[in-house]
Structure formats: structure tokens, C-alpha cells
Amino acid sequence: MKRLIMLWLALALFIPSALAGVEFSPQLFEELARSVNKVPEIEIPAYERFVLDNGLVVYLVEDHSLPLIEVTGFIKGGRAHETKDVAGISSFLTDMMTTGTQNRSEEALDKYKELYGLSFSMGVKRDYFTLRGSALIQDKGHLLELMADVLMNPKFDAPYYQRKLMELYQGLSMARTQDPALVDMIFYRHLYGDHPYSFDADIDLITAAAQNYTPARLMKYYKEAVAPNMTIMAFAGDFSAKAMKKEIEKAFGTWEKAPVTLPHQKSMAPRDEYGKVYIINKPDATQAKFKMGFDLFTHDYPEDTEFRVANMVYGSGSFECRLMDTLRVQKGYAYDARSTYNANKLGGEYVVTTEVKPESALDTYQTIIGEMDKILDRAEPITKDELFKTVNFFNALLPKFYVEKIDVIESVVLSVEIWGESANKVNENIKRYNNMTAETAQRIFEKNLDPDRFLTVILGQKEKLVPQFEEAGIPVEVIEM
Amino acid sequence: MKRSIMTLFALGVLVLAVGCSMAQTKDTSAATEIPEIRYETMQLDNGLKIYVVEDHAVPLVKFEIWYNVGAIDETERISGISHMLEHTMFLGTESLGKDKVHHLTKQVGGWANAGTYYDFTMYEEELPSAKLELAMAIEADRMRNLKIDPEEFAREQQVVAQERRQRTENNFFMSSMEEIQSKAFIKHPLHHTIIGWMDSILAYTVEDMRDYYTQYYAPNNAVMAVSGDVDPQEVFKLAEKYFGDYESRKVTRLGITEPEQTEERFIKIEKVTQVPLIGMMYKIPAGNHPDIVALNALNAILVNNATSRVNSVLKNEKHLIMQAGSFSFELRDPSYLFVYLIPMSVKSMDNVKEAFDAEIQRLIDEGITEEELAAVKKAALKSKVFSLKNKGGFASQLAINTLRFNDPDLYKRSYQQLEALTGEDIREAARKYLVPQKRTVGYVVPKGK
């Protein structure tokens, strides 16, 4: 008995301090990590939708939580309107529009924005232009006035026109030395050929086309691409919808309707590009930058949601996905590796990206293909556990992106007005991915992905890259920069 | 445990007006009522400070542990080791396998991340709020029980080396800034950037890492910030359970002071680029110095605002530059304000620099306009209202201000100071800090030109 007491005493004295509070163990963590999240439902706020006589569609959402107003919006068409002779003109157009107007010089416009704390910007996507703005609620009248002036009264033969053009050339010249811009140019040029979807990445093409961005051509393009009957705006903020409607009618009622035709030519990836490997030789590159991909479905693909979830297993970019697990966690090659896809109205693409040290380029290329093959061959199919974690992750975090009413209404507008879907699309998607099985994910992955179609662009020093591929019997085409 | 739990009010219901200085210009200053954000705070006996901001909009919690250690605590031999330690923390403990932090957080529907800066290192998890204890356990375990396996450590060194290639070496702006910074700071660890030199990254030993971890990862050198759908009392209870028995440790710092700069320094850097760049690094005081508010306003008026002096004159009127920008680091140590200008050509670089200096002199000689001051105040008011949408960001701000200056409410005073700011304050800041003898100028030119 005495011996037993001594043993207990000794144990008590030698218990490491780490065990004095909580005893950490793998079991403890597994217990703490048991969780099945509730299937969320996103609350679509009450909104009013109305259409002005000129076709402008407006959504209003009252939100009295803070004294501010925000606006988001879209103009249908976007970059797809461009023709090759004016490739890239959409970005220049929006830059000119937001710099000054017929009523306000560049300086006057900037001063107006700063004095009233107004922000308003325009952007360009493949299928639409974007509008974003905000102000304190006390300045909402000024925000509307600013937006109306920018959208309705552009000035292209302005004193800053030449300077803007010069800045564009300088920016393009700079892009020609930047790895991401060069990789994108070669990748999208080969993927989309002459389709407008390739234009915004093609530095050479835009450099040549910019000489055609004359004030007259800009005005013509504006008339072809920007009109109230193509525009949708959504406002959320601390206002009364009734009064706001009147203010909007006053601000935008005189904007004239125009006969705009939406682009409709579908993109087609040239089939002879499948399987090709291009190496961009950049003598100063210290790493190998990868972009591999192929054409994929358009936005109206019925199993878009299921594909998105299945692809997360392969290349979400988080540490657990197959690409990161092999390229970073196991091999230590990459800081980041992911697969994404972009589905647009007229075409879409699937893309894998990563960056590694040059010596690991061939193995990286083979790993990207190999990991996809493991799923496709069912050597390592998508598991129930992988699917559960992905779905559980979405269920927990998705509501976070719909806390603000402006974010919810933006998603409604995109679904309804741009893609022609239901206003409740977000909740329909939640139901769809929660009804998936691992077999569904596997099937949709197999149906859409094929590593033989990978068009590969790698930027780096050719002396370090080419021999690796030649030794492996993989033909490459070198592009000098 | 010091149960001095206080309920504080970060922002009372304030009615702020910005128009006092605009009497002779347009009045854009109608009163704006700003709601309050509440936070609760406590401190464990071992020194760990905790801040909780409730936000019940969605059932999530953001959990952060901030350590008061970063790149300015490193000697040159181990430059970048704070960042390497951040990576090493994901290699696990005896109970948490390699990358288990990511797997466990993903399993419950969350994510984990981390970040290193010049004067802090931060770890964060965002999870369903019912899983707060998981985050608490992860951070408590790796605060004290980090396992450093030599093989895994060596592999992670390669990942960090690749990160340096990707983010610094293949980025002409970042790599140029790194060279200018090393010229500007001779003795102070700001001689190197956060990621550290490649030679250092590849040379750290497991012993270096173990020493560094032991020296700085202690409860009294950390702050916990929790925001989201939580009960503050529950957070405090869990903090006590997981961290309560940890002992505080004496933290010693390098204590290196940069000698006062007395003359302008210059460096010419050749890069593969088509456009040149002028980078100017001005020495400024620590982030809680009273002059910082005026310096930020000066930054906006001189460079960053669309109507800034640089944009109006150098860009729009004289067509000398394509672009300009400026930012500063408000650290616990004196640091720098960086101005960059992208001239239209290599030939015009000297002209651009002279024109920039002339604008500073004009600002000092003539002062600033009422409209310029009003624009700065309006932007600050708007930013303050919009920042209330991000309660997680507010919790982080409390943690940073505590780490750096033991002053969570610094933001409040800074805003009050801004409201009272005068044109003369800004002018004085220019006179005091934007002087050639306090700056290092870098000319970044295309290779061979």
C-alpha cells in the first residue's frame, strides 16, 4: 500500500505542466470537431422592382441598420460586344466615363465625389458591365446625380483623352514584363482564338487596337453598349422606397432608350490546341508559372452547382483538396495550387494554376494530370467524407456572404436579370448540393473533365524547363518574350 | 484570474459633424448618427488579454490569437523567421497532426489561416459558433506544445522559399521596395522585409525555430480577439479552461534603434520592366505618435486623393507621371511612409522628383485649402460608418492597438484628433517629416537603360 502511495505521489509530481489544465490528445480534437451543420436558408429581403419608361430596371431594398446607401448594378453585354479592331475598348470606355462628363471636368468630378464622400465605379466583365457606388444617406441625392451624369453624359473628346491613352499604352507596356499577364495572354489567345472572351488578356492585340479608340469610335461603342433598357440597378439603404422611387425617376427618367443588340456568338476552343504545351521563355523568371485548362460549359449548364462542389475536392485551394495536398503538403513544391472554372453566357473555361520552382515543373505537370486521373479512373474516387466536408463547409459559411442586404439583392439581380434564373436561386443551389451523393460528384467530375484536353502554358526559363519535358517525350512549343 | 471584466463602449452614440472648417465652402456636413459597437474584455492572471465583440447576424465565430512578434524582432541571420514560425505552427503538436488544423476546421465547416506582419503574427479560425471550443483548444495546444519535425520543417522551408519567389522575386514592385527599404534602414530590423532574405530562409535550423517560439509565444505576449455569435462569459470561461494554467514568460526584445538619418540616400535599381518607378521612403514615428493623424491626412492631400496635389499637377496638368500612391506602416517602432511615382519615361525621372519636391514646398508655403481638409474629414466619417458593418475587423483593431501600444481605444482618440485637425497641423507634419534628409530615394529603371 505504501508503495502504491509513493507511486501516486511520484506521478503527481512529474505530471508535465501541459497536462495540468486540459489534457490534449487526438481524441479530444476529434470530439471537438464533430459537427453537422444545419442546412441554411438565405433570407431574401423584401424588395420593390419597377421599370422606368426607358426600360431601366430598378430594385429597392430598405435597410435602416446604418445611415448609408449602396448601389450595385449591371449593364447587359459587356466585353462580348467588342470586335477585334477595338479589342479592349470596354475598359477604356468605362475609364473615360468615370473620369469626367459633359457637365463636369475631371477636376470637378473628383472634387464633387470627395466633398460629398461619394464613390461610384464601373467595371467590365465578359457578359456585362458592373456599377458600384455608395454614400452616407445624407448625400444620396448627390450620389444619384453623379451616377446619372456619368451614365448619361459621357465626354470622349475631353482634355484628358490623350493622357488616358498614354496611360493605357504605358500599362500595356508594363504588362508585357509581368508573368501573370503574359501567361494569360498566351493561354486565352489559344483557348478562345478570335472570340471577344480572349481580347482583354491579349496585350499585343489591345496595343494594336488602341489606336482605333478615337473619341468618335468611343461614342459609337457607348451607343451600342450602354443604354437604360440594358441596365439594372439595385439600391439598399436607409431610405423610404416610396420617396427613393421618385428620386430615381427624376435622376434617370430622361436617359434615352437605345436599340442595343446583345452579343450571341458562342466561343469555340480550337480542338487542335488540346494537349499542347507552350513554354513562355522569360530569362529573368525565378519560378515556373502554370496555367492549364480547357473550354467548359456555359452558365446555363443544369448541373453547375454539382460540378462546383465536385471540383472543390480536386482543387478548392484549401489544404485538404487533392492538388494542395500533393503539391504543397506532400511535395513542398507550391505555395498555392487550385482549379477554378468560369461559366459565361457564350462559353466557359476550366483552369488549374500554380507556381513552383523550375526544377519541379515536369513533376508538377504530371501531378496535376495524375491527381485528376486518380479521380477519373476511380483509383481514388471522390469519397463520402470529402463530399461531406465540402457540403458542411458551404452550409456553415455561405450565410456569411448574405448578411448585408445589398449582397443578397445583388445575387437576386444577377440570377434574375443576367442569367434568367429564379430570384431564389441561392436557396435552390443550397438544396441541390445538400442532395448530392459522392457518386453524383464523381459522375459530374467524370462527365466534364478530361486531362487529355489540357492546354498548358508555363512561364519560366526555357533552359530549365524544356529539357525536362523533352526527356519525358512531351513536345513543347517555346514562345520567346 | 483578474476578473476585471469591463463592459466598454467603443463608440457612444455620437453625433458627429464635419463642417466647422467649411463655413465658407459647400456644407456637406449634415449630422450623422453613428451607432455604437460594444465590446467586453478581461485579462487572465498570466497576462493573456481577451476582447469579445458580439455579432449575432449569422451563427459563426471568428477566433483570433495575436502574438506580439514579427519581422522587426528578428536579427538579419534569422530574417523572416516569424513568418517561417507561422508556417511551422501548422505542422502540428503531439495531439494535432501535420495540417490537422486545416482538416479539423474544414470538418466543422470553417477555415483557418494566419498572417505575419512587421510587428505581429496572427492566427485565426472562423467556425460555426457552437465549435468555438475547437478553435480555443487548437490555439492553446500550439501556443505551448509545438512539435518541430526536422524533415517536415525542411519541406516547409521549400514552401516558404517558393512563396518568396512568387511574391517578392517575381514582383518588380515588391522586390524594388525590398531594396529601397534595406538602404533606408541600416541597423534596425526593418532592414529586411517580412518574408526575409532567401539565404536566411534556407538556413534556419530547428533549434533557431525552437528558441524563437519559446521566446515569444507566451500568454503575456498575446491577445485573443473573438467576434461573432458568442456569449462573452462563455468565451472567458473557455479561455480560463484552456489558457488559465499557462505561465507568463519574460519577453526580451532586440531593442535596436535606427540611427537618425541626416542626409538623403539614393539607390538605383535595375529591373526587367518597361516603365520606371521612383520610390521614396520617409522616416516616420511609431503608430501611436500624435503626428500620425496629420501624416495620414497629408498623405491623402498630397498623393492619394483623386484631387491630390500630385494627381492634379504632376499627372493631370504636367503629364509627368502615369500613377502615384502612398502608404505608411504604423508600427510599434518608428517606421516609414512610402511614396511611389511612375514617371512617363526614364528621362523624366529627375523632373518628376523635382516636381514632387516643389509640391511639398508649395504645400508648406501656402498651406492647404478648406476643401482639401473637408474632403479628408468626410472620407474619415464615411469610413467610420461603413466600418461598423465589419465587427470582426473591429475586434482585430482592438487586438492590434493592445499589442502595439496597450491602448485598445487608440482608434477613438485618433478619430477625435482628426475631427479637430487643422490645416496648420498638416502643414507642420509636412515640414517635419517630408524633408530630403529623412528619406531614401530609389530609382527603379529598366535593365540596361
Could you tell me whether strands B2-9 and B38-43 are parallel, antiparallel, or unpaired per DSSP bridges? Answer: antiparallel
Percent of chain B whose predicted confidence (pLDDT) is above 70: 92
Q: Amino acid identity of A38?
A: K
CB B129 within 8 A of CB B136: no
Nearest alpha-carbon partner for B146 in B115, B108, B101: B101
User: What CA–CA distances, in Å, run from B41 to A131, B48, B227, B405?
Assistant: 41, 11, 12, 16
HSE of B296, CA atoms in CB hemisphere, 13 A: 19
Buried (b) or exposed (e) across B395-428, using 16+ Cβ within 10 A?
bbbbbbbbbbeeebebbbebbeebbebebebbbe
Instruction: Read off the pLDDT of residues A178-221 as tens digits, 9 standing for 90 and up.
Output: 999 999 999 999 999 889 999 999 999 999 999 999 999 999 99
In angstroms, the CA A249 to CA A257 distance is 14
pLDDT at A20 over 60: no
pLDDT at B19 over 80: no
Are the Cβ atoms of A170 and B275 closer than 8 angstroms?
yes
Tell me if chain B has a CB within 8 Å of the CB of A33.
Answer: yes
Tell me if chain B has a CB within 8 Å of the CB of A16.
Answer: no
Could you tell me whether strands B222-228 and A337-343 are parallel, antiparallel, or unpaired per DSSP bridges? Answer: unpaired
Q: Amino acid identity of A393?
A: F
Are the Cβ atoms of A136 and B35 closer than 8 angstroms?
no
B chain contacts of residue A289, beta-carbon cutoff 8 Å? 170
Average pLDDT over residues A30-54: 96
Q: How confident is the model at residue A272 (pLDDT cuts 50, 70, 90)?
A: confident
Give chain B's count of helices (H) and strands (E): 15, 14
For the residues of A299-338, what is the DSSP string, one character each? Answer: TT-TTHHHHHHHHHHHH-SSTTSHHHIIIIIIT---S-EE
In angstroms, the CA A5 to CA A3 distance is 5
Average pLDDT over residues B39-65: 97
Single pTM value for the model: 0.90
B chain contacts of residue A405, beta-carbon cutoff 8 Å? none
**CA dihedral over B84, B85, B89, B95, signed as positive or negative:** positive
The CATH H-level (homologous superfamily) assignment of domain A48-252 is: Metalloenzyme, LuxS/M16 peptidase-like (3.30.830.10)
Nearest alpha-carbon partner for A409 in A140, A61, A65, A67: A61
Q: Amino acid identity of B1?
A: M
Nearest CA in chain A to B113: A318
Residue A453 burial by Cβ neighbours in a 10 Å radius (0-12, 13-18, 19+) = middle
Q: Please, which residues have CB within 8 angstroms of residue A288's CB and are 6 or more apart in sequence?
A: A355, A356, A357, A358, A360, A361, A364, A458, A459, A460, A464, A465
CB B374 within 8 A of CB A115: yes
Instruction: Read off the pLDDT of residues A180-192 as tens digits, 9 standing for 90 and up.
Output: 999 999 999 999 9
Among A27, A29, A204, most B C-beta atoms within 10 A, so best to mutate, is: A29
Interface of A with B in 156-215 (CB under 8 A): 160, 163, 166-167, 170-171, 173-174, 176-179
HSE of A133, CA atoms in CB hemisphere, 13 A: 30
pLDDT at B285 over 70: yes
Are the Cβ atoms of A35 and B241 closer than 8 angstroms?
no
pLDDT of residue B37: 86
In angstroms, the CA A80 to CA A87 distance is 10
A chain contacts of residue B273, beta-carbon cutoff 8 Å? 174, 177
Interface of A with B in 276-295 (CB under 8 A): 284-287, 289
**DSSP character at residue B233:** H
Instruction: Read off the pLDDT of residues A374-411 as tens digits, 9 standing for 90 and up.
Output: 999 999 999 999 999 999 999 999 999 999 999 999 99
- H or E element: which one contains B342? strand B335-343
**DSSP character at residue B261:** P
Instruction: Read off the pLDDT of residues B90-101 as tens digits, 9 standing for 90 and up.
Output: 999 999 999 899
Tell me how close the Cα of A260 comes to any Cα of chain B, in angstroms.
33
Are the Cβ atoms of A389 and B106 closer than 8 angstroms?
yes
pLDDT at A12 over 60: no
Are the Cβ atoms of B316 and A107 closer than 8 angstroms?
yes
User: What CA–CA distances, in Å, run from B150 to B157, B204, B205?
Assistant: 10, 11, 9
Domain A48-252 identical in fold to domain A271-480: yes
Nearest CA in chain B to A21: B245
Percent of chain A whose predicted confidence (pLDDT) is above 70: 95
pLDDT of residue A262: 80
Nearest CA in chain B to A177: B273
Which of A111, A174, A392 lies closest to B273 in CB terms?
Answer: A174
Q: How confident is the model at residue A17 (pLDDT cuts 50, 70, 90)?
A: very low
A chain contacts of residue B111, beta-carbon cutoff 8 Å? 318, 393, 397
Q: Please, which residues have CB within 8 angstroms of residue A322's CB and are 6 or more apart in sequence?
A: A313, A314, A315, A371, A374, A375
Across chain B, mean pLDDT equals 91
In angstroms, the CA A83 to CA A452 distance is 31
- Per the listing, cell 436617359 goes with A255
CB A25 within 8 A of CB A382: no
Nearest alpha-carbon partner for B181 in B281, B79, B330, B71: B281
B chain contacts of residue A356, beta-carbon cutoff 8 Å? 162
Are the Cβ atoms of B28 and A139 closer than 8 angstroms?
yes
Q: Give me the residues paired with residue A293 across strands.
A: A351, A455
- Per the listing, cell 494566419 goes with B114
Q: How confident is the model at residue B205 (pLDDT cuts 50, 70, 90)?
A: very high
How many CB pairs below 8 A link A and B?
217
pLDDT of residue B30: 52
Could you tell me whether strands A288-296 and A455-460 are parallel, antiparallel, or unpaired per DSSP bridges? Answer: antiparallel
pLDDT of residue A265: 77
Tell me if chain B has a CB within 8 Å of the CB of A112.
Answer: no
Tell me how close the Cα of B361 comes to any Cα of chain A, in angstroms.
22
Helix axes B132-144, B232-243, angle to 10 degrees: 30
Tell me if chain B has a CB within 8 Å of the CB of A15.
Answer: no
Q: How confident is the model at residue B26 (pLDDT cuts 50, 70, 90)?
A: very low
Among A69, A115, A139, most B C-beta atoms within 10 A, so best to mutate, is: A115
Tell me if chain B has a CB within 8 Å of the CB of A12.
Answer: no
ipTM for the complex shown: 0.87
Tell me if chain B has a CB within 8 Å of the CB of A310.
Answer: no
Nearest alpha-carbon partner for A365 in A325, A335, A319, A327: A327
Domain B37-243 identical in fold to domain B265-446: yes
Nearest CA in chain B to A176: B274
CATH of domain B265-446: 3.30.830.10
Which of B109, B247, B371 lies closest to A393 in CB terms?
Answer: B109
In angstroms, the CA A409 to CA A417 distance is 11
Tell me how close the Cα of B276 comes to any Cα of chain A, in angstroms.
9
CATH architecture observed for domain A271-480:
2-Layer Sandwich (3.30)
The number of residues making up chain B comes to 449
Are the Cβ atoms of B162 and A335 closer than 8 angstroms?
yes
pLDDT of residue B15: 32
Are the Cβ atoms of B245 and A116 closer than 8 angstroms?
no
In angstroms, the CA A280 to CA A183 distance is 8
Q: Which CATH class is domain B37-243?
A: alpha beta
Say whether A21 sits in a helix, a strand or coil. coil
Are the Cβ atoms of B165 and A37 closer than 8 angstroms?
no
In angstroms, the CA B32 to CA B34 distance is 6
- H or E element: which one contains B265? strand B265-271
Nearest CA in chain B to A403: B57
Which of A18, A114, A138 lies closest to B306 in CB terms?
Answer: A114
Q: Please, which residues have CB within 8 angstroms of residue A313's CB and are 6 or more apart in sequence?
A: A321, A322, A375, A382, A386, A387, A390, A441, A445
Residue B174 burial by Cβ neighbours in a 10 Å radius (0-12, 13-18, 19+) = middle
A chain contacts of residue B345, beta-carbon cutoff 8 Å? none
| Spans of all domains in chain A | 48-252, 271-480
For the residues of A374-396, what is the DSSP string, one character each? Answer: HHHTTSSPPPHHHHHHHHHHHHH
